[in-house]
Amino acid sequence: MTLQKQDFLKDTVQHFDMKVIDPRPIVSQMEHMAFQARNLSRAADIYNRMLADTECGVILCLAGSLVSAGLKQIIVDMIRSRMVDCIVSTGANLVDQDFFEGLGFKHYKGDVTADDAVLRELAIDRIYDTYIDEDELRVCDDTVRQICDGLQPRPYSSREILAEMGKYLQANGKTKDSILQAAFEAEVPVFCPAFSDCSAGFGLVMHQFNRPAGQPRVSLDSAADFLELTRIKLACKETGLLMVGGGVPKNFAQDIVVAAELLGADVPMHKYAIQLTVADERDGALSGSTLKEASSWGKVDLAWEQMVYGEATLTFPLLAGSAYHQRKWEAREFKRFARIFELEAANAG
């Protein structure tokens, strides 16, 4: 029997709902264990301190394939519950996965032993044990193109374009639970330093290719990204990092301390820092480099930092869920950092 696309795209990935499960008793017992259990318990304590410190701006960094794995709802609820004030992410999480699902598409349970040649023939993309419909991804690419076609042609930061995408979902989305839409509505700025490395890149390529020669077009200003995130550090001196994975988001968020100093500001290092990772530090690569190493660069204070070595679909629900049910966030207000840039634009106009 010849396999068809529907034979593979049957069982959808369901997103973890931290609101209905209280993991605090588990995390509390882990405090008296060893290895990564104890590290996770300490990380949960640091995150609670971060949320209880109402002057602190919380920056959530996302790398890896998190949304496709079922972690989207956690991030959406963190935004709505004032547990995060700014997001720095890879493009895959924000565009290929979150915006993609906002358009009404799904991720599906897959099989790591599947015949990838067959999947390719059927236009099915595999992310370890999940599937995504390539034909639907092309719709996602083209929707980004349409959004860019409707913008005033000029250089943009990734934050600006992602805000437009959140606005688009607010008007046209098929689900209310989108990271980009929730962030747009809560005025939580979202940055993607490597924005072209995802479906947004394909959309921008199509937008620029279709513009007549010599006519202005939408483009990316990576320096504006860096400056805008640095402005958040300047506006909110006390900051904490919650990093899921490593890569560009991790370094980008850490670097704003140094950037602020180069601009002549006297700002403290990130007061709190947590990283959930499976990367190893021994090869000298960024994703596995420790937070203690970051302190040598003047980026992270060592008083409240914790590395947790474990895969994010296991560690992140426990960490975020524990903090959600601890409810330190109830005393916080929305910081609405996006207003910093609205005010700048108004003044410039």
d(CA 166, CA 146): 14
CB 268, CB 262: distance < 8 Å: no
Cα distances from 69 to residues 11, 55, 105, 277, in angstroms, run 13, 32, 14, 15
| Weakest mean pLDDT among 73-82, 132-141, 168-177, 339-348 | 339-348
d(CA 288, CA 314): 18
pLDDT for residue 344: 74
What's at 316, amino acid-wise? F
Confidence of residue 343 (pLDDT cuts 50, 70, 90): confident
Distance CA(279)–CA(258), nearest Å, equals: 24
Task: Check whether 346 has a pLDDT greater than 70.
Answer: no
Give residue 11's pLDDT: 98
pLDDT at 280 over 70: yes
| Per-residue pLDDT tens over the stretch 209-238 | 999 888 999 999 999 999 999 999 999 999
Angle subtended at Cα 232 by Cα 198 and Cα 306, rounded to the nearest 5 degrees: 75
Residue 108 class from Cβ within 10 Å (0-12 exposed, 13-18 middle, 19+ buried)? middle
Residue range 272-287: mean pLDDT, rounded: 92
Q: State yes or no: pLDDT of 349 exceeds 70.
A: no
Q: Which fold has domain 13-348?
A: Deoxyhypusine Synthase (3.40.910)
- Catalytic residue, chosen from 271, 299, 328, 335, is 299
C-beta separation of 16 from 317 below 8 A: yes
pLDDT in tens, 173-195: 999 999 999 999 999 999 999 99
- Domain ranges across the chain: 13-348
- C-alpha 243 chain-centroid distance: 9
- 299 classed as catalytic: yes
**Longest Cα pair distance anywhere in the chain, in angstroms?**
69
* Model pLDDT, residue 348: 67
